[in-house]
Structures are given as structure tokens and as C-alpha cells.
Chain A
Amino acid sequence: MTENRAIVAIRLKVPDNTAFTALVALRRSGVEVARVERAEMWFLDDAGEPETLAQRVRADESIFNPHLHEVEVRNGSLPRAGEVWIAEASASDAPMRVTGVRKAKRAVSWSLLDSNDAPASRALLECACKSLLCNAAIEEAAFS
């Protein structure tokens, strides 16, 4: 069966304390942001049926807790406006337990919104990365 590179976002459906901490810390650093959202991104080498991917991810309790999480299969291969993906610079694909997935790579998605609830500009995202979200010595940031 053909392998597809699929991207899945898993985010909390309960209040995200880490995102709130990031919001407070960014504001304290002078980054003018009104809201911060966070998701765990998985880049999957998937040999399964694309239409069943979300269901298969939900079945892996090592990454998905139905009481806490919601899953989204992302279209496109780039972050959205106002979003940055932070990944370990040395990260390599690792085996994963999701049925049909041979290996996967992980990143963290940060979505920043301004006071109008609009996606943050690229300049603001870069500022947030430099201030807090990305340690350039060990991590890489991907923008849209």
C-alpha cells in the first residue's frame, strides 16, 4: 500500500495551562498577543486509509485521551497564518503505535492571535519564538 505523509493535530479540549503560561510569559516579555493556542503535531508516514486516520489516532491511548483531546487531520503541509511549528532540530522519525503508521515525527504548534482575534503577523510570531517559544540552539521554527 502507498505511504502518505499525513499531518495530525491533537489539542486539548479542556483549558490548556501551558498555553496560558505561554500567554502570560510572552506578555511579560513585551510580546503583544491576546490569545495563545497550542497543539501537538504529528507528521505521520501512513500506509492506512486516509479517511480512517483520525479514528486510528483516537485509538492510540499513548497520544490520545478521549476525555482530554480532540484530533484534527490537517490539510496542507505548512502552518496556518498566525501559527508556528516548533520541532527539535535533531528530531528524526520514530516508530509509532497508531495502526498503519510506520513512523512519525513530532512538533508543537503555537497559534497566536492578536487583540482583534486575528492571526498574529509573521513578525510577531518571530518575536514570540525568539522571546520564548523556540530555543534556537536545539529547536527549529517553521512558519507558513
Chain B
Amino acid sequence: MKRIAVLVYPGTNSEEETLQLLRDCGGNAEIVHWSRSETLRDYDAYVLPGGFAYEDRIRVGAVAARDEMTAAVVEGTKKGKLAFGICNGAQILLEAGLAPGLGAERSPEAAFTHNAPARHFLCTLVHVRLAIEPSRCAITASLPKGAVLPAWAAHADGRLAARSDELAAIAAGGHVAFIYTNAHGTLDAVAPPNGSALGCAALTNGEGNVLAIMPHVERVHPRSAGAPLFSSFVRAVELA
């Protein structure tokens, strides 16, 4: 079986539930702490869980995006390996320039930054809808078209923001993988809950081997409710 690394940076705090759901979905996953970053190149796929890596010092995800763990993820994704970031993991992927990954040079083109209009920490159940063709991103390829998933939004910095030209490129390039909706998958006045541009809850890159999603699908109860995305990821890892 292919091996999935669940990365733990100093300050990551969601690795256990992420690991559990990956295993529940049949994934051969294990936790890799920052002190073992040199082993990451031996893994076939990477999951970056939620938390507060490096205490979100300087900016959310900024320091983690530039450490050795992420360097291994960058190197792996260039070879076609899958990277799946959740919440703080998603913020790190954006800071590392892996999503949306618009330019030739790897640099941040967008950010999941502070919520708006209130900058407060948000902790609420949300629903997200797959906004791309499932096959556009390898990690979503086994989901049904327009799949609606419950997820737990737990962040102070979940709003997609970028310059207007970058936002236009993100929209035109089909990089918005999930949008916030209501439980029926339709847009309403409460979505998105954090002011996210384009209603974006998740971004993918051009190649479709990186997915950065803000709300926690792994925290939903029953656990099976959030499982379809993890199952799709595990299947994609095995097929890769």
C-alpha cells in the first residue's frame, strides 16, 4: 500500500483525528513529526492537518511554509505526489505557493487571511459543495459531481484574499474546488461565513494534485459524514 504522511509541525493539533479518519477510510497513514522531516521523501502523499504551526507567527502558515517539512512536500508535488491541507495545513499550502499555484515561480499568490467583516475566530458547522468537475482534482476524483459535505469551520483566518487579477485567474482557472453553501448545496445569505472571496472554501492547483481546504471535514460527527473526501483522497493515493 502507498504510504501517507500526516505532517506535524510545532503547533499542529489536529493530527490524531486526521490520522484516524484516513485509517478508517483505508489509508496507510502515519504521523511524521518535524524532527523526522528527512523521512518525508519516502512517502507517497502528504496530509497537512489543522492547528497553529509555529503559533502562526509573522502570518498564518508563513514560517511552516518555509521549513524542511514543506520543502519535502513541494519536492513531492513537483513529482506528482498528492498534498492535502486542512485549515492551517491549507494556509501553509497557500503560503508555500502550492495552491493555487498560478505562476511559474513558486510564491504566495493568495492567502487564507483573517475573517471578515468581524476578525473573530469562527467555530461553526458549515457545508461545502464541490465546485469543479470531480476529475479536475485527483483528490476529489471519486466524489460525485456537486457533492455537498458537512464540515466544521474553526478558524480566525479562513477568508480567501488576493489581488483582483489573481482572483480573476483563480476563478477562470477552475481553482476553487469547494464553495460554502447551505446544507442543500445552494448559496444563501449565510454563506460564506468568513467573507471568503469567490465563496471559496478550498483551492486546488493547476495540476490537480494539491487541495487546500479550510473547514475540517474530519471533525464532523458522525465521522462517516466527512469520510467521502478522505476516501476519495485515499483512493487517489492508491491510483497515483
Contacts from A to B (Cβ < 8 Å) = 17-18, 21-22, 25, 28-29, 88-90, 130-133, 135-139
Contacts from B to A (Cβ < 8 Å) = 54-55, 57-59, 62-63, 66-67, 95, 107-111, 113, 161-163, 166
Q: Which of B57, B108, B162, B166 contacts A18 (CB 8 A)?
A: B57
The 4 closest A-B pairs by CB, nearest first: A18-B57, A21-B57, A138-B111, A135-B108
Assuming A137-B110, A137-B111, A137-B161, is B57 touching A17 (CB within 8 A)?
A: yes
Cβ–Cβ < 8 Å partners of B67 in chain A: 25, 28
Prevailing SS type, chain B contact patch: loop
Beta-carbon contact of B58 and A21 below 8 Å: yes
Give chain B nearest CB distance to A94 CB in angstroms: 10
Cβ–Cβ < 8 Å partners of A138 in chain B: 110-111, 113, 161-162
Tally the A-B contacts, defined by beta carbons under 8 Å: 50
Cβ–Cβ < 8 Å partners of B107 in chain A: 130, 136
Q: Give bound CA distance, A135 to B161, whole Å.
A: 11
Q: Give bound CA distance, A97 to B166, whole Å.
A: 36
Nearest residue in B to A139 (C-beta to C-beta)? B59
Residue from A22, A89, A131, A137 having most chain B Cβ neighbours under 10 A: A137
Beta-carbon contact of A22 and B57 below 8 Å: yes
Give chain A nearest CB distance to B160 CB in angstroms: 10
Cβ–Cβ < 8 Å partners of B62 in chain A: 25, 132, 135
Assuming A21-B54, A132-B58, A135-B59, is B161 touching A28 (CB within 8 A)?
A: no
Q: Give bound CA distance, A53 to B95, whole Å.
A: 37
Assuming A25-B66, A29-B66, is B109 touching A137 (CB within 8 A)?
A: yes
Cβ–Cβ < 8 Å partners of B58 in chain A: 18, 21-22, 25, 132-133
Cβ–Cβ < 8 Å partners of A132 in chain B: 58, 62-63, 66
